[in-house]
Structure 1
Amino acid sequence: MNIKIFEFNPIAENTYVLYDETNECVIIDAGCFYPDEKQELLDFILDNNLVVKHLLNTHLHFDHVFGNKFILDQFHLKTKAHQADQFLLEGMPAQMRMFGFKDGEDAPEIGTYIKENDTIEFGNQKLLVLEVPGHSPGSVAFYSAEGNCAIVGDALFRGSIGRTDLAQGNQDQLLQAIRQKLFTLPAETVVYPGHGPKTTIAQEMRSNPFFGGR
């Protein structure tokens, strides 16, 4: 499985395109905000003859959904996301104003609700949905056992965890979810976060200060 990483929008959000030899792909957290960012994402898909099967969201904070309407318009796909984050779409203008953005386009409604242990299939790949609430109540990760990787959104970062001071965030819940859902994955699993560089489960278990690391 191939993973293309884009860093989009003023919040430096990571958007992922996962694809394989069949040319089927998924887009995770379409954060493209500026017209040139949207064009960059579209050009990559077209230049590589990719067929977009799913638009997935790890969670629905504004910086991760900027591009959802663009993907809907281009490929007629609505996002798959957890129902517990639905309220974030309804409060999108307030979210954006909090971070100094003017009101933008409304993000499309969730098309399909996903939950723990659901499987997302594309090409020859399968992604397992893991619920990791705390950064937001509906935060999920997408785990590929064959690809030895997890796309974790803003739950876990290299040397840190997601902030929990936003609406319905809960640090105790997030720490518990990371221990129970992510730290039980194989140690060599590569972690692709919503911001910043990739890491591994082993590295975070060993050195993340939120779990006693140094």
Structure 2
Amino acid sequence: MIKIQQFTFNPFQENTYVLYDESKECVIIDPGCYEPHEQEELAQFIANKELNPVILALTHSHIDHVLGNHFICNRFKLKPQIHRLDLETLRNVKNYAHVYGFSGYQPSPEPEIFLKEENPFTFGNSTLEIRFVPGHAPGHIVFISHEDKFVINGDCIFYGSIGRTDLPGGDHQTLLSSIRNALFSLPDDYKVYTGHGIPTTIGFEKENNPFLQEELES
């Protein structure tokens, strides 16, 4: 069984996740830890639980989700694993970080492994399916545990909302179609862990998300 620890970091209130199982291996997803105390909070949790980080994975590469990449690489010797179509997004962060007040941003290491839909990844005794869900970012992916019935969804869906599509590489219709095909094909009881805010479920969003009602009816 996968256990999930959520942290909320940086001024964007971004949700960072640590997934681990009984093997003590863990995956760090979307590390938004920018301030030293945020980085220490994450590292201390891993140390206290005696976890062994084996993968650093990103749902996508917008600034709020990658602020801790450099720290994670230095501390745990892990380079980010992303979808290849998000590489340019990752590289561009250093060009605009100062605009958002992150003057101390240290550029992310380059990925050495690119994640693909057809290649689920494993850690410990657990497996996560990867699905490609573009629209918010060109290489946005999500991570699904069918055994434990949850999705680490990044910024595709939020509770009663969806990710913004006015950033470079975003497209509103692409996001709606991606959600319908990749996420709403999952069972209603799957829990959705979001990149910002509180979790939701597939079923709740099918029934209540105002941005998706018209898409579903069509």
Q: TM tier, shorter chain?
A: over 0.9
3-state secondary structure, aligned to 1:135: coil
CA RMSD of aligned residues (A): 1.2
| CA distance in structure 1 between the aligned counterparts of 2:124 and 2:157, rounded to whole angstroms | 27
Q: What's the counterpart of residue 173 of structure 2?
A: 172
The residue correspondences of 1:12-161 to structure 2 (distance < 5 A) are 12-102=13-103, 104-161=105-162
3-state secondary structure, aligned to 2:27: strand
Do the aligned residues in 2 keep the contact of 1:164 with 1:170 (CA within 8 Å)?
Answer: yes
| CA distance in structure 1 between the aligned counterparts of 2:46 and 2:91, rounded to whole angstroms | 30
| CA distance in structure 2 between the aligned counterparts of 1:47 and 1:101, rounded to whole angstroms | 29
Counterpart amino acid of residue 204 in structure 2: Q
Instruction: Write out per-residue CA displacement over residues 121-156 of structure 1, whole angstroms, 9 at most, x where no aligned residue.
Output: 011110000000000000000000001000010011
Counterpart amino acid of residue 104 in structure 1: Y
| CA distance in structure 2 between the aligned counterparts of 1:163 and 1:17, rounded to whole angstroms | 25
| CA distance in structure 2 between the aligned counterparts of 1:169 and 1:100, rounded to whole angstroms | 23
Do the aligned residues in 2 keep the contact of 1:134 with 1:172 (CA within 8 Å)?
Answer: yes
3-state secondary structure, aligned to 2:116: coil
3-state secondary structure, aligned to 2:17: strand
| CA distance in structure 1 between the aligned counterparts of 2:57 and 2:91, rounded to whole angstroms | 18
- Structure 1 unaligned runs (5+)? none
Q: What's the counterpart of residue 211 of structure 1?
A: 212
Deviation of the 1:97 alpha carbon: 3.9
Counterpart amino acid of residue 135 in structure 2: G
Do the aligned residues in 2 keep the contact of 1:38 with 1:70 (CA within 8 Å)?
Answer: yes
| CA distance in structure 2 between the aligned counterparts of 1:100 and 1:165, rounded to whole angstroms | 20
* Comparing 12-21 and 106-115, the one that deviates more: 106-115
Paired residue total: 213
| CA distance in structure 2 between the aligned counterparts of 1:75 and 1:103, rounded to whole angstroms | 20
| CA distance in structure 2 between the aligned counterparts of 1:43 and 1:100, rounded to whole angstroms | 26
Do the aligned residues in 2 keep the contact of 1:93 with 1:103 (CA within 8 Å)?
Answer: no
Instruction: Write out per-residue CA displacement over residues 55-103 of structure 1, whole angstroms, 9 at most, x where no aligned residue.
Output: 0000000110111111111111111101111111221133324434336
User: TM-score under structure 2 normalisation?
Assistant: 0.94
Deviation of the 1:115 alpha carbon: 1.5
| CA distance in structure 1 between the aligned counterparts of 2:168 and 2:67, rounded to whole angstroms | 18
3-state secondary structure, aligned to 1:91: helix
Counterpart amino acid of residue 54 in structure 2: K
- Structure 2 unaligned runs (5+)? none
The percentage of counterpart residues that share the same residue type is: 46
User: TM-score under structure 1 normalisation?
Assistant: 0.96
Counterpart amino acid of residue 3 in structure 1: I
